[in-house]
Amino acid sequence: MALLTLAEAKAQLNLTGDGDDVELQDYIDSVTAVVEEYCGPIEPRAVTERHDAESGRSVIVLRTTPVLSLTSVTPVLTGGVSHPVAGLDLDPDTGAVRRLDGGRFRGLLLFTVQAGRAGVPPVPPTVNLASRMLVQHLWRTQRPSRSGGLAGGGDDYTVGEPIPGFGYAVPNRVLELLAPYRLPPGVA
């Protein structure tokens, strides 16, 4: 589920050999988690969440957003009530699920959804570029240049103030590229 390929990362870093491929793949895999923490799932995938509605709830808010579709709502315990998805309303951006009949959800329920973002290609070009830039930033902070400083110079990858939740690991320009895909406030 990486947001970029090894070949794309190598091109961004101007690497031609394969001596660093295993380590670079670790960076690629790690960057996906960072980007999705900020934006939510990018590539579509099935996600199942357990929600406790024992006391009855009119709205269940999914923890994973954005959501492409609601696949099923089934009880965890035998004898519980299933909810046909045709009778439910889903807000794909906030993950809020309501019953169309105005009733309440009750019991322990499993919500299965298709999370991610619609589109072709599945990874928007801006997200791919931000991911490549983040790999480049993290890679360069670990690779001293021949002159003794960090490769790539300081100003190009300097992170000013720490970003809440991200510290100094994500440059502001990466966050600026991801801004159109950022999760709404209060959704995480």
Domain final residue pick, 87, 115, 143: 115
Q: Residues 89, 105: one domain?
A: yes
Domain final residue pick, 95, 115, 135: 115
Q: Residues 108, 136: one domain?
A: no
Q: Residues 90, 129: one domain?
A: no
d(CA 106, CA 25): 44
Decide if 81 contacts 107 (C-beta within 8 A): yes
The two structure tokens encoding residue 7: 């070949």
Mind listing the pLDDT tens digit of every residue in the chain (188 residues)? Answer: 679 999 999 999 999 999 999 999 999 999 988 999 889 998 889 999 999 998 899 999 999 999 999 999 999 988 888 899 999 999 998 999 999 999 999 999 999 999 998 876 678 899 999 999 999 999 987 776 554 444 444 444 555 565 566 666 788 889 899 999 888 776 55
* pTM score: 0.75
What is the pairing mode between strands 59-61 and 96-99?
Answer: antiparallel
User: Could you say which DSSP state residue 186 is in?
Assistant: T
Q: Residues 145, 169: one domain?
A: yes
CA-based angle 60:61:62, to the nearest 5?
Answer: 115
What is the pairing mode between strands 105-115 and 67-75?
Answer: antiparallel
Q: Residues 161, 70: one domain?
A: no
Residue range of the domain that includes 104: 45-115
